Amino acid sequence: MLFPILGIVLVGMVALALRYRYLNKKTDDANDDFYERERRANIAPKKDISNLNYLKIPLEKFPIGQVDDPDIKTIEDKLIKLSEKDILNLTGKTNTDLKEEYGAPNFDKMQEVGENFNDLTVLLVDYGNELMLHNMTDEAITVLEYGIVIGTDMSKNYTMLADCYQAKNQPRRIRTLRDQAVKYEGIMRESILRHIDELLKDDNEEDFETSEDE
């Protein structure tokens, strides 16, 4: 009876050893591929980045200077300064990606360009929020819609814009926003969709109550 059990144990140990060896080789191969790609990226030649499709902040469409509020003025000043810099949505690109695509000598510049985009998305959310607090819903919509257009990864940009549409009683625009949110690739995607669905649910319930009253 002892020998069959020992045989099973030995077979299991061999299987585990083979599995462990396979996983180690797979990891080693992945590491080798990464280091080889990184090596090539580090010697990638400089490319012309002067004609990239840099973002232009549409300050002329924003309510710049219309509100006498220190918090809003601070945000607007930052937006004006940022509008003078190169901005590009590089969300999801790794350092290796940047060097491969734009050339290793441009790496620092492209990092700066990507950070400018991150700063912009934060400012748009802050600006939209302040405008909402001042009951400037239409102006907040303009600001937050621009965030969606440029591919913001700020979940609050979506939820706040949905709230603005709700305040303006625009369920059709909420549904359009939901279609855009479905394509959102951040970890907050489900949270955004839940928020929007809750607004749409409330709208559907109101429509049902109205039809009953009629």
Q: Which of 184, 177, 181 is nearest to 162 (CA)?
A: 177
Cα Rg of the chain (Å, integer): 26
Task: Give pLDDT tens digits along the chain (214 positions).
Answer: 555 666 565 665 665 666 656 566 555 555 667 688 888 999 899 999 999 999 999 999 999 999 999 999 999 999 999 999 999 999 999 999 999 999 999 999 999 999 999 999 999 999 999 999 999 999 999 999 999 999 999 999 999 999 999 999 999 999 999 999 999 999 999 999 999 999 999 766 554 343 334 4
For residue 114 the two structure tokens come to 């990507």
Which pLDDT belongs to residue 156?
Answer: 98
Entry field: residues in the chain: 214
Half-sphere exposure of 94 (CA within 13 A, CB side): 7
Which pLDDT belongs to residue 74?
Answer: 98
Instruction: List, for residues 139-164, the tens digit of each pLDDT value.
Output: 999 999 999 999 999 999 999 999 99
- Report the distance separating Cα 188 and Cα 197, nearest Å: 14
∠177-179-181 over CA atoms, to 5°?
A: 70
